[in-house]
Chains A and B, each alone.
Chain A
Amino acid sequence: MNCNEVKTLLMPFHDGELDPAVAAEVETALSGCPECQVELEELSRLHTFAADAFTATVPEVDLSGVYDGVMARIAAEDAAEATSNAIEGVRVQREDAAPGLIDRIGTWFSELFRLQRPVTAFVAAAAVAALVAGVWFSGSQSTSPGERVDGGDPGIAKIDNNGKRRGREGEVSVTSSRVEAIADKGEVKVITFDDSDDEPIVLWHVVEGEGVSMPNGSSNGTKGL
């Protein structure tokens, strides 16, 4: 192996990347090539300088809180996702809501035809058509059963949700919940009930996109819906 060949292999030789047989050849050739030996020494020195440079220039930082920080981040992200999912997936039905518009029209027509008053029914149908058009153009929205309620007047509503939710005292299986009040911007107060009895165990204060907080503002993250 000549000097040029040795130089080509010097770096992988230094880094322990050569096949043992080739490394042995390089080693033998090195003993007869002072120039190659100097090059190898420089590579070795370079390794020391580089390793020292990186380790010596890293600032002294306290890393003892990394694990707790990571777990807190994961919990916060999970809670935010659960909140988002909960709000996305919540389907509420107002307990006190009157039947939907279509249901009411259907009932009314049935009643009219049952009483065999076709003329009255025709006039009524025209009136209903006008009414529906009025509703359409005014942009009003009805709150029919099963619809998500995003705003409007506070009222009592049920959440059709059997999902597991984390509770204050661990995980609680929520079989029924009540939306106590619905305010603007997706803010919803929900009373959840434990399986075992009908006592409300916690009052949630759900704010879409901002995690979950207790009414007194003392809790967030994992304790949310």
Chain B
Amino acid sequence: MANQERKHEDQALVERAVQGDQKAFRQLVERYQRKVYTIAYGIVRNPDAAMDVVQDAFVKVHRHLPNFKGDSSFYTWLYRIVVNLCIDRKRRAARAAEVDYDDALAHGDGFTNGPTLASTGIESPLKAAQRKELVEHMDKALETLSDDHREILLLREVDGLSYEELAETLDIAKGTVMSRLFHARKNFQKSLTRYLKK
């Protein structure tokens, strides 16, 4: 579904839900519950904790829906709630240190400098014959990432959020989005190739 179309549909559902239409609220929940669970699990890495986050997020949405002005899209608002709940849950003390995007490139930190995914010979992980083993490796590779990197990678690669939406959802500057996304991808690439070559 095109982003614009999704936004309009969400907005219509939100307006109905605010008027007290429980069916509309139900549709919003059912439309996003899987995505919310995926994001929550991707960050907290625990099935029960992720389910708690899903419940907490929609309770929060229900409570604050009348205050949602529609300045941003519903899903970035929702994802921000989810990410914040995950962050609260994990009570992280400090964020991973950021290295500037341009600096990293200046040091030759491109995606072909070092081990590459191309060298693994796997084109599509989900189609690979050794799927179960591969999933385990991918899981381990995700575990090695910092929370910041998992969050941004998840929101970009799974949900396709734009840089602007990422900045809004994660409450960071757009420049930080590029930098963080770059390093998240780099670290994931390193980690994954390490596991896949074992």
Q: Which residues of A contact B (CB under 8 A)?
A: 7-8, 10-12, 15-17, 35, 38-39, 41-43, 45-59, 61, 63, 66-67, 69-71, 73-74, 77
Contact = CB atoms under 8 A, between A and B. Distances in A.
Contacts of A39: 110-112
Interface in B147-197: 153-154, 156-158, 162-163, 178, 181-182, 185, 188-189, 192
B135 interface: yes
Contacts of A73: 55, 59
Nearest to B154: A54
A42 B62 CA distance: 42
Interface of B: 22, 25-26, 29-30, 33-34, 37-38, 41-42, 47, 51, 54-55, 58-59, 62-63, 102, 105, 110-112, 116-118, 123-126, 131, 134-135, 138-139, 141-142, 153-154, 156-158, 162-163, 178, 181-182, 185, 188-189, 192
A70 B32 CA distance: 13
Contact of B62 (A35, A54, A66, A70): A70
Given A45-B118, A70-B29, A51 B112 contact: no
Contacts of A43: 111, 185
Contacts of B117: 42, 45-46, 49
Contacts, number: 126
A66 B34 CA distance: 10
Given A15-B163, A42-B112, A54-B154, A59 B41 contact: yes
Contacts of B185: 11, 43, 46, 50
B58 A70 contact: yes
B33 A17 contact: no
16 contacts: A11-B181, A17-B162, A35-B112, A38-B112, A42-B118, A42-B189, A45-B118, A49-B117, A52-B126, A54-B154, A56-B135, A56-B138, A58-B42, A67-B33, A70-B29, A74-B59
